[in-house]
């Protein structure tokens, strides 16, 4: 199933919303399953990125311009060589949702219950809004 994911962090300086197309092997029936499938996909991508190494990393002019738009120009290197624990990543993502650290919107409608049934259709737009915790003391 092809879906479009948009991630927004409310504490970022630039208000860039990156819309990414993803292909899920199964159709999630609940929000819990959707979050789980997205985490599995991201862990797989991270693992692939850790295993691929370029002898001489470089960026083309177009890649530099694209990364400037998103606010960070870099080679995309992964410095942590530790393999991610898939089970722990899923548990962390679900706990973060339950704790209100991010919200999920499907077709501009908030989904706030992990077990609520979803009716996803091909090429639906899903938005994850990640909240930023403020540091400091209370006066």
DSSP state of 1: -
Q: In CATH terms, is domain 2-48+85-130 a member of 3.30.70?
A: no
The separation between CA 126 and the C-alpha centre of its own chain, rounded to angstroms, equals: 11
Provide CB contacts within 8 A for 51, sequence distance 6+: none
Confidence at residue 58, expressed as pLDDT on a 0 to 100 scale: 61
Distance CA 63, CA 103 (A): 30
Return d(Cα 84, Cα 93) in angstroms, integer: 13
Taking only the tens of pLDDT, the chain with its 139 residues reads: 899 888 876 655 555 567 888 999 889 999 999 999 999 999 998 888 766 665 456 667 777 777 676 666 666 555 566 778 999 999 999 999 999 999 999 998 999 999 989 999 999 999 999 887 666 555 5
**Residue 131 pLDDT:** 84
pTM for the structure as a whole: 0.73
Domain ranges of the chain: 2-48+85-130
Distance (Å, rounded) from C-alpha 96 to C-alpha 99?
Answer: 5
């Amino acid at each position: 199933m092809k879906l479009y994911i948009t991630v927004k962090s409310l504490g970022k300086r630039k208000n860039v919303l990156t819309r990414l197309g993803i292909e899920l092997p199964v159709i999630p029936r609940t929000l819990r399953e959707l979050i789980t499938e997205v985490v599995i996909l991201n862990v797989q991508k991270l693992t692939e990125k850790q295993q691929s190494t370029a002898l001489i990393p470089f960026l083309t002019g177009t890649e530099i311009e694209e990364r400037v738009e998103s606010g960070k120009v870099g080679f995309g290197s992964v410095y942590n060589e530790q393999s991610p624990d898939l089970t722990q990543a899923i548990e962390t993502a679900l706990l973060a949702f339950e704790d209100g650290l991010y919200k999920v919107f499907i077709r501009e409608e908030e989904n706030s219950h992990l077990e609520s049934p979803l009716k996803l259709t091909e090429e639906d737009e899903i938005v994850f809004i990640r909240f930023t915790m403020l540091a400091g003391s209370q006066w």
